Copies of this chain bind each other. A is one copy, B any other.
C-alpha cells in the first residue's frame, strides 16, 4: 500500500515524543517526558457546571455547526480578557483553532510551499517541526543564547539562504519560557527580531502557549504588541490555562488577507471548532475570576519548578559541567550533560531505572543536542519530582562512570 502515500507524508516522521510517551506511561515510571498540564489546575467543577448548562439551555447553538472563524461569544470574551494585559485586539483579528497545533498546521498550510524556508529556534517545539515538515518546508534552526535566539546567526543564515536562492517565508519563535528550553527572549531581541523580519520581509509566527504562566521576573511585551506592520501572527492556547482536553486556542493576525487565507484553510481542515468547548472557555472567562485562577496555576508550577531545581542541585553530580536552565514560567527546563553523554543512548537505562525524559536531539531541526534532555516539571507531585531526579542523577552518574572506564580502557 506504500505507493499510495504522498511525498509530504513520507517527509513527516512519527512524533518521537508521542512514541516515548507510550513507553513512559507505565505506572511505576516517573515521567518528566510529556508536556502535560497539571490536572489540579483545571477548573473542572466550574467547567462541569457551564457545560451542563450550555447543553441543557443552549443546545440548539452549541451542538450545531458554527462559524469557521470561531464563535463570536468566545472571540469577544478573549478581546475583553486580554485588553488589560496590553494585548489590543479586535474580534475580526481572532481565529479560533482546534488547539494551537491546528494553528501551526494552518500557518504551514497557508504559507509554506515545498522547499520554502522557515527559521526557528534550535531546539524548538517538536510538533511545530512536524507541522512544518508535513508541508515539506525547509526548517532552519538557529541556536539559542540565554536571552533567546542568536540573531547574528539568524542574519547569517538568512544571507546564506538568499544566496542559495531559496524562498524565505517566516521566523517561528516561542518567546516566553520556550518549549523545550524554558528560555525567555529579551525585549531587546524581540525588537531586533522584528526589525530583521521587516527588512527581510518575513512573517513572524509567535507561539505563546505559556505567556500567562509567568511565576518569576517581569512580564515582557509580546512580539504581537511590538508589531507595527501586521507581520506577526500570534498563537495562544487554552491548553495550559484551562485544560488541554478542550482542544481550544486562538490565533491572531491583523492582516485581513492573511486571515482570509487562514479561514479558508480551516474550512478545508475541520469546518469549525466545537462551539461547546468554545462556550465553556468563553463563559469561564466572563463568569469566573481568570486572574485568581491563573495565580493558582502559577503558584502550582512555581513550586514544582523550585522542587525540580532543588532536586537537581542536590542529586546531580557536581563539577561535571552539568547545567540546567532556570525558567521564569512555563512547564519545562533543559538539562545539558557533558558532551560524551548521548541522552538518546542513555534513555533505555533511564527507563530501566523507572524515570523518563525527552531526548534533546529530537527538538533540533538540523541535528545536534545529543547531550541534552527536556524535563517537564508540570505533572508530577513534589515528592515524585525529587524521587525522579534522584533516579535520573543515578543514571547520569553511572553513564559518566562507564564513559570514564571506557576512556581508561
Closest to A256 in B: B1
Residues of B within 8 A of A9 (CB): 109-111, 261, 264-265
Q: Does A34 contact B (CB under 8 A)?
A: yes
A contact patch SS: helix
- Are B274 and A247 in touch, CB under 8 angstroms? yes
- A297 to chain B minimum Cβ distance, whole angstroms, is 13
Contact with B along A381-400 (1 / 0, CB 8 A): 00000000000000000000
| Cα distance A44–B7 in the bound complex, in angstroms | 43
Q: Which of A60-68, A139-147, A210-218, A346-354 contacts B (4 or more CB under 8 A)?
A: A60-68
In the complex, A366 has a CB within 8 A of chain B: no
* Docked complex Cα distance between A45 and B51 (Å): 11
Check B245 against A203 for contact (C-beta < 8 Å). Answer: no
Query: Which of B39, B65, B101, B263 is the one whose CB lies under 8 Å from A59?
Result: B39
For window 1-39 of chain A, which residues contact chain B by CB distance below 8 Å? 1-9, 12-15, 18, 34, 36-37, 39
Residues of B within 8 A of A134 (CB): 109, 264-265, 268-269
Q: Which of B56, B243, B272, B274 contacts A45 (CB 8 A)?
A: B56
Does A341 sit within 8 A of B, measured CB to CB? no
Which of B13, B56, B257 interacts with A264 by CB under 8 Å?
B13
Residue of B nearest to A99 (CB): B270
Copies of this chain, count: 2
CA distance A68 to B7 in the complex (A): 21
Q: Are B247 and A270 in contact (CB under 8 A)?
A: yes
Report if A282 contacts B (CB, 8 A).
no
A5-B261, A6-B113, A98-B270 are contacts. A245–B65 as well, Cβ < 8 Å? yes
Interface residue ranges of A315-355 to B (CB < 8 Å):
none
Q: Is the CB of B245 within 8 A of A62?
A: yes
Contact B264 A14 (CB under 8 A): yes
B63 engages A44 (CB within 8 Å): yes
CA distance A243 to B65 in the complex (A): 9
Question: 13 A-B pairs, CB-CB below 8 angstroms?
Answer: A1-B257, A1-B258, A3-B201, A5-B258, A34-B65, A44-B56, A47-B63, A48-B59, A64-B243, A65-B245, A127-B267, A134-B264, A276-B277
Could you tell me which A residues sit within 8 Å of B by CB distance?
Answer: 1-9, 12-15, 18, 34, 36-37, 39, 42, 44-45, 47-49, 51-53, 55-56, 59-60, 62-66, 68, 98-99, 101-102, 105, 109-113, 116, 127, 130-131, 133-135, 169-170, 201, 203, 230, 239, 243-247, 255, 257-258, 260-261, 263-265, 267-277
